Amino acid sequence: MDYLKDMAKYGLSGTARRLKGTPPTPKSSIGRVDYLNVSDEFSQRIRLIPGAYEMQRYDDETGSLDLVTLPFYECERHFIPARRERRGAIITCSAGPDPTAPKPCLPCDELEYFQLHRVVFSIVELEQFHRTPWIKKGTTDPTLGKDGKPILIDALCEDLEGGGNCSMCRSEDDKFFGKSMYWELSNDQFDQLLALEEQFLRTKCVCGKDMRIKKFECSRCAEVIIQMSSTKFTKKELRHYIKNGMVCPACKSLVRLIPIMDCSCEKSQSLNLFMVDLNVSRRPSTTGKKSYTLDVTFSAPCEPDKRYGGSWDSIDLAAVLAPPTIPEQRKICGLRRGAVAGKDNPYHEDYGKNKNQEPEAPTDNKGSFNG
Ligand SMILES: [Zn+2]
Ligand SMILES: [Zn+2]
Ligand SMILES: [Zn+2]
Ligand SMILES: [Zn+2]
């Protein structure tokens, strides 16, 4: 199952490009928050917006629920497949953070669907958009709302290179730059992103120069193990310890060496994912058609884009991604009271061998730093 491709399926038709635009929610397009649909045909420029998301996390060892605050949001999602007339849906699991005392959740309890862990970022997409009538898949005319007026959605302008090929530009649909949305990543994709940050951003200072390693700290007790200015280790020895770890003189354990970077400038601060623009696209993996690899390149750090006049605040993702109520879940899942789902369903726990596998399993990643 290709998660994002399936999300695209619930989008719109109209032009091919609109299909990859931002699908509407069924009810109203007012006040709606769209999500980023990563394309395999073109890259989209985005900025991640750090939030302060408070979440409860279950600690396997102590059995306690701990409160964490992170710049991104995390949740468990269920993929509800389309069935006959019913649209597919992706909904947040309502079981809650405590696996020893789960709250009621129909996809968990009655359908036994597995959960997909998602890491979700607030983002601003730094591209041209149109506010344009929604043309439902399989139809040619705009879909009308209850008020008899066309339902409007936001779709990416198709005129990427300025070639005048955008049908929405030609029909003079409202055009605007930049849009606040969210971006859902699987664990694998999040790991890819962190690896790219480690490789291309953490080694650069905000001033543009390369950072140098100043010292190494113990991964366990954070004691400084090696000072680069005074160390007697040779380069070869250092490489060995970086690769294999070393026994920390302070806590006497075999630990990893955590490099602490430094720059000669006054600021001396490493870049991170929130400081640069990301150009994101994806490509099918070579190993399986259902998996894909995230392609991310970073653009030079810059001030918040002056062309975007909207909000740079993070989205309240706990509200946007709140789980549906039980009656809503019943409707979305097409469950009658007391009905049990058939086990021929590919999303059912008993189906196939790789039931707990993530839908996409990227095999490699690629990144570069431009500028
Ligand atoms: Zn659930
Ligand atoms: Zn356009
Ligand atoms: Zn230590
Ligand atoms: Zn610097």
Shared domain check, 142 and 244: no
Shared domain check, 241 and 139: no
In this prediction, residue 83 carries a pLDDT of 80
Residue ranges of E strands in 187-315: 212-218, 224-227, 246-247, 254-255, 257-262, 277-284, 292-299
Shared domain check, 224 and 178: no
| Confidence (pTM) | 0.75
Shared domain check, 343 and 236: no
Per the structure, the count of domains in the chain is 2
Characterise 164 by phi-psi region: left (phi > 0), alpha (psi -120 to 50), beta (else): left
CA 204 to centroid of ligand 4, rounded, Å: 8
Number of the ligand closest to the Cα of 250 = 3
Shared domain check, 143 and 10: yes
Which of 220, 241, 262 is a domain's end point? Answer: 262
36 pLDDT higher than 50: yes
Shared domain check, 247 and 101: no
CA 105 to centroid of ligand 1, rounded, Å: 5
Closest-CA residue to 263 (of 339, 211, 320): 211
- Tell me the pLDDT tens digit for each residue of 93-147: 999 999 999 999 999 999 888 889 999 999 999 999 999 888 877 778 888 888 8
Shared domain check, 243 and 126: no
Residues 6+ apart with CB under 8 A from 16: none
Number of the ligand closest to the Cα of 91 = 1
Shared domain check, 323 and 234: no
In a domain, residue 207? The reply is no
Q: What percent of the chain has pLDDT over 70?
A: 78
In a domain, residue 217? The reply is yes
- Tell me the pLDDT tens digit for each residue of 312-330: 999 999 999 999 999 999 9
CA 94 to centroid of ligand 1, rounded, Å: 5
Q: Please report where in the chains the tokens 């709140």 appear, as a residue.
A: 322
299 pLDDT higher than 60: yes
Shared domain check, 137 and 219: no
Give the environment of ion ligand 2: residues with CB less than 5 A.
157, 159, 166, 168-169
Rounded mean pLDDT of the chain?
A: 79
CA 270 to centroid of ligand 3, rounded, Å: 24
Q: Where are the alpha helices (DSSP H) in 272-350?
A: 317-320, 326-332
CA 49 to centroid of ligand 1, rounded, Å: 28
3-state SS class at 244: helix
The boundaries of the domain holding residue 253 are: 212-262
Q: Can you tell me the mean pLDDT for 6-26?
A: 31
CA 35 to centroid of ligand 1, rounded, Å: 21
- Tell me the pLDDT tens digit for each residue of 56-86: 999 888 989 999 999 999 999 999 888 877 7
In a domain, residue 205? The reply is no
Shared domain check, 282 and 218: no
CA 173 to centroid of ligand 3, rounded, Å: 61
In a domain, residue 268? The reply is no
Shared domain check, 250 and 143: no
